[in-house]
Amino acid sequence: MTFQSIDFIIFFMVVFIVYWLSSHRFQNILLLASSFLFCGYINIKFLGLLIISGSIAYCSAILMSRFPKHGKAILIPSVLAGLALLGFFKYYNFFVESVDRVFQYMGIPSTLPTLNLMMPLGISFYTFQNISYVVDVYRKNITPCFSAVNYAIYICFFPKFVSGPIERASHLLAQIQKPRVIDLNRFINGLVLLLWGYYQKVVIADNIAIFSDKLFALKDPSFLIVCAGAFAFTLQIFADFSGYTDIARGCSQMLGFDLAKNFNNPYFAKSPSDFWRRWHMSLSSWIRDYIYIPLGGSRVSTIRWVLILFVTFFVIGLWHGASWNFILWGLYYWLLYLLFRLWRYIVPSAVRNIKWAQLVTLPFMFLLTNLGWLIFKLTDFNQLRKYLSILLSGWSMEHGMFAFYIVAYTSLYSLPLILVCSYFFYNEKTNRSLNLFEIRLLRIAAIPILYTAILLLRCNYSSDFIYFNF
């Protein structure tokens, strides 16, 4: 049951109507039943692992409140259990295959078996939510939740179950525990977000995916074709993931919840650190709070900081998938981070802070981001090596008109997204904002426009959301 399917639309409409006709207690029971149904509809086997993982965190938090002197002794097994489940189902075969290759290279026969495992959807997301919950209880940042129903909703709330955002208990669980009443403004805001998310997915991302997938299937692409393909995928993955998040946030607002914002114009970043403050913000903030800062953050020696940063980006890469290209993608940003930090030390601040410096830094960072997405996209190392060698071989005008057509095609479909992001970036830089009346007027006008655009421009080819794989 994917967001873009008719099954989900009917499912959500039924849940929405029954939900707002119910009392707070029954609302939560309905949300839990709906979330279990949503998860089980995808694959009934996923429910067992979800319940086991959530039960470990739920019981561990209660035990820590009952036996505070033994908090660390309870916390560590709880975190390790969650990571063990994630590691086994997501990374076991990857580990075995990697060790097998090393043994083959050394001439050693390997008998390590691979297993026919299906990676449970959403496991990377709800595992991180479980870990953040027990750590926050241990740190006494929050009190444990004694309602199994409320905690289960926090873990498997169906709008954000598959691909996030990664919620914190202090934000989402607090909303689950409070009564909710229907609000017209919140409903309209949610509906606009929902339609905007669908527009990004079925109009922008899916239409671009037709060309993007074909370009990356070419055996011998030219320099410009590789560049056009990277550009197309850069727009596709943003529209795809941002679209999912906006649909999730829109559904949640219509049900009375506010989910965390996950994007803030990431392609207007001026540096790698700025990019990760804007892209997949719920993941980057989680990594910061539960890995980077606990390891020492920036308040350590330079050598240790470099190692901490290495671990941080290694985890970011590995979190995205059981493939070496994701690890390479994470380490690519680690290297960029170091180079940009070195640049800050070498170049005087007077030069770096020139008024129009962003006319250079923003496009340059966007090009580096394109290269990063090329690494992210190509899970086949031989293909990745070929594409990178083509880029390093130098400029070539071969297939120039076709590459120009691809760039123009993807830019045209992405134009509404580009304009919206540019508008909000301009407001960010000028501290400008619309008044309440203007915001309401725009949102009401956006509903029929987006609905009509989706009907007329939607792609007949429907693909899964890219982040469903993580």
Q: What is the pLDDT along the chain (470 residues), one digit of tens a residue?
A: 788 888 899 999 999 999 999 998 899 999 999 999 998 887 787 888 999 999 999 999 999 999 999 999 999 999 999 999 999 999 888 888 877 777 777 777 767 777 777 788 889 999 999 999 999 999 999 999 999 999 999 999 999 998 889 999 999 999 999 999 889 889 999 999 999 999 999 999 999 999 888 888 888 888 999 999 999 999 999 999 999 999 999 999 999 999 999 999 999 999 999 999 999 999 999 999 999 999 998 889 999 999 999 999 999 999 998 889 999 999 999 999 999 888 877 776 666 667 676 778 899 999 999 999 999 999 888 888 889 888 888 777 777 888 899 999 999 999 999 999 988 888 877 877 766 766 778 888 889 999 999 999 998 888 888 887 77
Least Cα distance to 468 among 18, 163, 159, 39 occurs for 163
Specify whether 319 is located in the same domain as 371: yes
Specify whether 217 is located in the same domain as 192: yes
Specify whether 270 is located in the same domain as 152: no
At which of 181, 204, 224 does a domain end? Answer: 181
Least Cα distance to 284 among 316, 251, 310, 307 occurs for 316
At which of 181, 208, 229 does a domain end? Answer: 181
Specify whether 220 is located in the same domain as 273: yes
Specify whether 220 is located in the same domain as 285: yes
Contact 459, 206 (CB under 8 A): yes
Catalytic residues: 320
- The boundaries of the domain holding residue 357 are 185-469
The reported pLDDT for the residue numbered 153 is 96
Specify whether 153 is located in the same domain as 200: no
Specify whether 316 is located in the same domain as 388: yes
**Assigned domain for 1 exists:** no
At which of 124, 158, 181 does a domain end? Answer: 181
| Model-wide pTM > 0.85 | yes
Helices (H), 67-183: 71-86, 92-106, 123-138, 148-156, 174-177
Specify whether 359 is located in the same domain as 294: yes
Least Cα distance to 125 among 266, 237, 15, 245 occurs for 245
Specify whether 391 is located in the same domain as 317: yes
**Assigned domain for 163 exists:** yes
* DSSP of 122-152: THHHHHHHHHHHHHHHHTTSSPPP--HHHHH
Contact 196, 456 (CB under 8 A): no
* Domains of the chain: total: 2
Specify whether 166 is located in the same domain as 229: no
Specify whether 177 is located in the same domain as 192: no
Specify whether 194 is located in the same domain as 311: yes
Say how far apart CA 32 and CA 441 lie, in whole Å.
35
The reported pLDDT for the residue numbered 437 is 67
* DSSP of 195-232: HHHHIIIIIIIHHHHHHHHHHTT-SS--HHHHHHHHHH
